[in-house]
Amino acid sequence: MEDIINSFTSSFEDSGISLEKVRIYPRPAFPFPWTTKAFFAAMPHSVDGIPMELEPFGFKERQYDLVIIGYQPWFLSPSIPISSLLQHPAFKTVVNDTPVVTITGCRNMWINAQEKLKLRLKEANARLVGNIALADRHDNYTSLVTILYWMLKGKKDRKWGIFPKPGVSDADVAGSEVFGQTVKKHLLSEEWSELQPDLVRQKAVEVKYYLMFIERKAGRIFKIWSGIINKKKNKGPWLTAFKYYILIALFVAAPLILTIDAIFFRPFLGRRIKKQKEYYEGVDLA
C-alpha cells in the first residue's frame, strides 16, 4: 500500500501541493508473515468493523483540501486498522465536510469493503469524490494461491518459481501515478463532480462480473459467520470451520453456482448487471 500511495501521489509535490502522509499502525501489530491462525482470526472483527487501538498519530492541519485514504480489504471488509481509523474521532473531524479519494490495493475483491467504507464516510460527513481499485489481474485461484504464499511466508516472489508474483503488479503500482494526476487536476480546479467518471474512463476501477457475483453472495455469508463467531468465547474451532468453509465455497460451490448462473440467469439479466457494475464503479451510496 505504501508503494501505491507513493506512486499515486508522486506528481503532487511538483505542482506545489503540500502533501502530508500519515501511516497508521495498529496496536498491537499484526504478525508479518501472518500465521494461518492470526490470518483467519482477523475475520470476525474485520467483517463486523470492530475497531482496535491504533498507535498515536496526528495531523499537522485542522482541515485539508483533500484526504486520500489508501487501504486494504480484509475478508471483504475494510481491514481492521482502517476501520479503526474511520471510527477514530480525530480522523472523523479531519474528513468532516472534506473531499475524500479512496485507493485500494487488494487481491481482487474490494466492492463490499468499499460499500462499508462509503457508509463510514457518510457517517463522518465526508464527501467521497473518487475511488481507485488496484487488484491482482491473475485469475481468482492463481491470485489466491500467490497471496496466501505472500502473506504466510512473507515473500513477494514467485512461488516455486512457477506462479506469478503475488498482488498488484509492479506495472500497475507504477501506473497508479496516472490516476494521481487525474485526481491532482481536479484538486487544482476544485471541481470534483467529473472525477470518478474520468477515473472510470481511465479504468482506475473495473468491476468484473464473476467477482461481483461471488462477493455479493459471500459478503452476506461472511456476516453470518462473523456474527456467530464474535459471540463465541472459544473461537478456535469456529475459525477452523470457517477456514474449511471458505475453501469448499471457493473451490467447489463457486464454480457450480457460477455455471448455473451462466446458463440460467446471466443471459437474461444484462441490463441489471450493467447497472450494478456502474453502481460499484461509482462513489454514491445506495
Ligand X SMILES: Cc1cc2nc3c(=O)[nH]c(=O)nc-3n(C[C@H](O)[C@H](O)[C@H](O)COP(=O)(O)O)c2cc1C
Please report, as ranges, the residues that interact with ligand X according to CB under 6 A: 1, 34, 39, 42, 72-76, 105-110, 147, 151, 167
Query: How far apart are CB 71 and ligand X at their closest, in Å?
Result: 8
Are the beta carbons of 73 and 106 closer than 8 angstroms?
yes
Query: How far apart are CB 143 and ligand X at their closest, in Å?
Result: 8
Query: How far apart are CB 36 and ligand X at their closest, in Å?
Result: 11
Amino acid in position 62: R
C-beta closer to ligand X: residue 10 or 17: 10
C-beta closer to ligand X: residue 75 or 192: 75
C-beta closer to ligand X: residue 99 or 219: 219
Q: Is the dihedral of CA 134, 218, 91, 23 positive or negative?
A: negative
Query: How far apart are CB 103 and ligand X at their closest, in Å?
Result: 11
Query: How far apart are CB 224 and ligand X at their closest, in Å?
Result: 16
C-beta closer to ligand X: residue 75 or 242: 75
C-beta closer to ligand X: residue 15 or 240: 240
